[in-house]
Structures are given as C-alpha cells and as structure tokens.
Amino acid sequence: MRTKLLTLTLLPLLLLSGCNKNKTNIPDGYTLFFEDEFDGESLNKDIWSFEIGNGNNGWGNAEVEYYKEENAVVKDGKLHIVAKKEKVGDFDYTSARIKTVNNVKFTYGIVEARISLPAEKAMWPAFWMMPNDSTYGGWPHSGEIDIMEANGASQYGTSCAIHYSLSGGTHTNDTGYNNMKTRDYTSSITEFHIYKVDWSEDKIAMYVDDRLIKEFPQRLWSTATVSKDTNPGAPFDKDFYLLLNMAISGNYVKGDMPNGDFTLAEMVVDYVRVYTLN
C-alpha cells in the first residue's frame, strides 16, 4: 500500500488546525495525515480553494446554483455550506463548493467527515474525491470516489459510489445505499453522522458511523485507457483530492426544484480527517 506526503511547506499548516484536540479514534496502524477541525474564523485557503459559478451545464449535472465563496462560512468550530434563494445574474440560487486540489492529495488511506445534512427538497450535498492529475484521461477515465451524496427530499437516505470507464470507453458506476430506517438508526440525515471511505490497493469500502455500506473490490473497477492486466489498480491508484459541496437540483435529485417558500439550507461539517498507513 502506497501513500504520498503533502508539500513540506504546507504540512505544518495542515496539522496545526485542531491539533490540540484529543484524537482517540485513529485506526490501528495508521497516522493522522490531514485534518481540518474548522476552529478558526474562516477557511484556510492554504488548504481549500473555491469553485465559482455554474460550470458547464450545471457542472455537467444540470445543477441550478451559482457557487460563491461567501456561502462557505466557518463559525463555532464548524464549516457551514449554505444554499440560499439569492439572485446572481441569471441564477436564482447560490451555494458553495470547495476542494483541496494540489494542497491535500494522497493515494490510499481512510478518509472521514462528521456531517449534518439538510432534509430539504432539491438539495444535493456531497463529500467526495477526484483525481489530482487525471493521469488516465478526462472524466470518467481517471475515476471518482463519492463518499457521501444525499437527496434532501429523503431524510433517511444517503448513497456512495465509484465512477470509472469500461474498456470501450463507456462511463459506469457502482453504487451503495444507506437507508437509516433499515439500519437501526433513530435519527435522520439532519443529525451528525460520520461518512467514511477505506481506500486501499485491494478495495474501496464505504461506511456510515462505522457500518459498512458497500465494498467495491479492485476486480470491479477499470479504466478504458490502460490494460487491466498490466495495471489492475487503475484508475484508483493515483493521488486524489477532497471536495465538499451542496448542489441545488440536478440529475441526482431527478431535477427537483426547491419549494416555493425555500430560503436557506445548510450542510454543516464538524471535521474532515485523512489517515494513512504508518
């Protein structure tokens, strides 16, 4: 199993954030590689950068929000990604999307975040990972790891997925579903839950509150740009980075739009942590 270190000039900044808090849940055999406890008054821009605007065709997903830096707010030790009914140009809604591209990137490890989600129609919050360098080509050839996605209209469900390409170049994905009502939960997505991926050479396993939701063994995934025989781990054997966002409408929520009385919804993140093997 292989890990990659952060740029040395950034390492002290990344480990200082929240390092005074007692960590009692570090997995055996692992080291805390990165954390953000959101203890300051604003996002650390040496870690996070912002996506701005609506991308191409709503970031390729028919989303209707306009992403703004101002909609990512740090207060009371938590990150608040705020979706609003707010006019910006031709857009009626705003939200935020942040990423660690080029700043926090790694190959293999355990990634987790403690998050509360809004049970609000048309909201599409996500905690996910993308390839830092797209070594195997543009999406989906270099892969995508979705640790958590949710449809705000369904207050008891989240999903996880991996995306890749088949030998003919066709996009495909494998998905797992977490139904809190059938997994002995007493709370909804509006309560804080820990969403986690354990990513290794052999598998990608997704968890909610340490309950296994879905395991994707290496034999399932592939990329059209290299041979499975010569490079069986591709595309999930290169550096990936982290993303947090909350879209509004889009393909995942089947084009639902917010209710007429919608004004604001929040995705609240308590912390984000990455552990790598010793």
Residues forming the active site: 144, 149
For residues 175 and 158, give the distance between their C-alpha atoms in angstroms, rounded to a whole number.
11
Bridge partners, residue 157, by sequence: 179
Q: How many residues does the chain have?
A: 278
Looking only at the bridges linking them, the beta strands covering 240-248 and 105-106 are antiparallel
Q: Return the residue matching tokens 């982290």.
A: 242
Using DSSP's 3-state secondary structure scheme, residue 220 falls into helix
Cβ-based burial of 56 (10 A; exposed 0-12, middle 13-18, buried ≥19): exposed
Alpha carbon dihedral 149, 151, 152, 156, in 10-degree steps, equals -80
How many of the other CB atoms lie within 10 Å of CB of 183?
12
For residues 273 and 270, give the distance between their C-alpha atoms in angstroms, rounded to a whole number.
10
Maximum separation of any 2 CA atoms in the chain, in Å? 55
Structure tokens, 265: 């919804």
Looking only at the bridges linking them, the beta strands covering 72-75 and 65-67 are unpaired
For residues 277 and 243, give the distance between their C-alpha atoms in angstroms, rounded to a whole number.
22
Q: From 156, 96, 153, 101, select the one nearest 126 (Cα to Cα).
A: 96
